[in-house]
Amino acid sequence: MINRRDFIGRAAATAAVLTTTTAKSYARILGSNGRVNFAVIGLRSRAYAHLAALHANKESAQIVTVADVDSRYLDKFCSDVATKTGNSPKGEKDFRNALSNKDVDAITIATPDHWHAPMGILGMQAGKHVYVEKPCAYNPQEGLWLVEAQKKTGKLCQMGSQRRSSKPVMEAIDRLRSGVIGKPYWAETWYATARQPIGVGKPIPVPATLDWDLWQGPAPRQAYTDNVHPYNWHWFRKWGTGETLNNGTHEVDVAVWALGVGLPRRVTALGGRFQAKDDWQFYDNLDVAFEYPDAMITWKGSCISGKKTYGRDRGVAVHGTKGTMVIDIGEWEVYDEKDHMIDSSAKVVKTAAAPSSDRAGIDVHTDQHFGNFIGAIRNGEALHQPVAQGNISVTALHFANIAYFTKRSLNIDGNGMILGDKEAQAMTKRAEYAKGFEPKV
């Protein structure tokens, strides 16, 4: 049997074999006692949840490489990894150096959204397993390419929607399947937080610490301004995907799971930018309806007010013919038709969750989601959120954005095509890529 390093070194030259390789065969090659070597890419807030999760799984995983286009965050993260784990990772400004590193088995992606799918595709093509933060893709077309790349390479790709590995949420889904609220027909989802305006950006010289060209990557080029990096890119259409996919992905994915549905047949969105006149290009409040043949999902997002729903700043309420179940990442409650609580996770298991204002999201659920990913690589466990599954919720939310910007409802066929609306269908893909950064599958 070849050793792990020899296998990884040959991976790029044996893509045809990898196409049919299973997770269990990876485990046999790696060895059940071997630790998985990770490269963490994109080192701002969410990367610290990746660090914490990999440290929580330190018996089976370790960080050997980290990468970021801004040396400020690269240097700090390298230091923080060394302090937390006792091991000093190799730091890279260009993530492609991590992909060519034969010691790296898997990468984690916590970059701006526009890099998620292109980087994930390159990672799998380089023979790496991929853990990609939500949303797995910047647009529906890139989601399809990412899923196709996974199928072609046979590499594992897990989307970072950690509720799929939350024990309380899994318990809630089991209770729903048992018929505790009768037949579920409506999943009501929401997210609320108080964000501040981002102002009108001023052109300034690119900071000496930042590789602005590599930061932009596949996106068309533009001059640097002072209100984009490191966080406000979320609210620019060239790089971000708005609050629907920044946070709505989590709750809508639980709703899809709870109702057992796929892509919606009709999507309607209503909202606007009400807080300020600034460079923010998305809505700050949005109501969305996803319609299915015999069910519906709604999402309400607010970036102005943190007013809670059902006592929570984010969550899911699944309504059925015999009651309602309210689900948070760390707990659930069941109410009968007269709004009396009849059961809750307090009797089973309850774990704390970070508030909606927390950008890192360090919690036991992320630890468990990483544990599942590592177990899939080492031992052939089934992934809790394989990218083909996660991309369903992501694509539905992209349709919500398109419905908002076109100001009309979208009708969707069973294959994810928008019917009778060429303008809307054209918005499912990027019109232009920067030369040399075009995704290729």
pLDDT for the residue numbered 34: 87
pLDDT for the residue numbered 198: 98
Phi, psi (deg, nearest 5) at residue 28: -65, -40
- Strands 106-109 and 90-92, sheet pairing: unpaired
pLDDT for the residue numbered 347: 62
CB-based contacts of 140: which residues, under 8 Å, 6+ apart?
A: 395, 398, 399, 416, 428, 429
**Residue 268 in tokens:** 């309607």
- Strands 36-41 and 106-109, sheet pairing: parallel
| 27-35 own/partner pairs: CB under 8 Å, 24+ apart | 27/377, 27/378, 27/379, 27/380, 28/1, 29/1, 29/2, 29/4, 30/4, 30/105, 30/377, 30/378, 31/4, 32/378, 32/379, 34/4, 34/378, 35/59, 35/60, 35/61, 35/62
pLDDT for the residue numbered 361: 82
Do residues 218 and 434 make contact, with C-beta atoms less than 8 angstroms apart? Answer: yes
pLDDT for the residue numbered 20: 38
**Residue 226 in tokens:** 């002072």
Quick one: three-class SS letters along the chain? CCCHHHHHHHHHHHHHHHCCCCHHHHHHHHCCCCCEEEEEECCCCCHHHHHHHHHHCCCCEEEEEEECCEHHHHHHHHHHHHHHHCCCCEEECCHHHHHCCCCCCEEEECCCHHHHHHHHHHHHHCCCEEEEECCCCCCHHHHHHHHHHHHHHCCCEEEECHHHHCHHHHHHHHHHHCCCCCCEEEEEEEEECCCCCCCCCCECCCCCCECHHHHHCCCCCCCCECCCCCCHHHHCCCCCCHHHHHHHHHHHHHHHHHHCCCCCCEEEEEEECCCCCCCCCCCCEEEEEEECCCCEEEEEEECCCCCCECCECEEEEEEECCEEEEEECCEEEEECCCCCEEEEHHHCCCCCCCCCCCCCCCCHHHHHHHHHHHHHHHHCCCCCCEHHHHHHHHHHHHHHHHHHHHCCCEEECCCCCECCCHHHHHCCCCCCCCCCCCCCC
- Enumerate the domain spans of the chain: 4-163+374-379, 165-199+224-358+386-426
Residue with token string 């075009």: 438
CB-based contacts of 40: which residues, under 8 Å, 6+ apart?
A: 47, 50, 51, 54, 63, 65, 66, 67, 77, 89, 107, 108, 110
Q: Of the candidates 157, 102, 94, which has an alpha carbon nearest to the alpha carbon of residue 124?
A: 157
- Residue 333 CA to residue 354 CA, distance in Å, equals 18
Domain 165-199+224-358+386-426 is found in CATH 3.30.360.10: yes
Length of the chain, in residues? 441
**Residue 414 in tokens:** 């069973």
pLDDT for the residue numbered 387: 98
Q: Name the β-bridge partners of 91.
A: 66
- Residue 419 CA to residue 409 CA, distance in Å, equals 11
pTM of the model: 0.91
- Tens of each residue's pLDDT in the chain, 441 residues: 334 343 333 333 333 333 334 555 555 455 344 899 999 999 999 999 999 999 999 999 999 999 999 999 999 999 999 999 999 999 999 999 999 999 999 999 999 999 999 999 999 999 999 999 999 999 999 999 999 999 999 999 999 999 999 999 999 999 999 999 999 999 999 999 999 999 999 999 999 999 999 999 999 999 999 999 999 999 999 999 999 999 999 999 999 999 999 999 999 999 999 999 999 999 999 999 999 999 999 999 999 999 999 999 999 999 999 999 999 999 999 999 999 999 999 865 555 556 655 667 899 999 999 999 999 999 999 999 999 999 999 999 999 999 999 999 999 999 999 999 999 999 999 999 999 999 999
- Residue 19 CA to residue 302 CA, distance in Å, equals 43
Q: Which fold has domain 4-163+374-379?
A: Rossmann fold (3.40.50)
- Residue 233 CA to residue 18 CA, distance in Å, equals 36
Residue with token string 């024990």: 167
What does the pLDDT look like over 18-69, one tens digit per residue?
333 455 555 545 534 489 999 999 999 999 999 999 999 999 999 999 999 9
pLDDT for the residue numbered 133: 98
Distance of CA 251 to the CA centre of its chain: 12
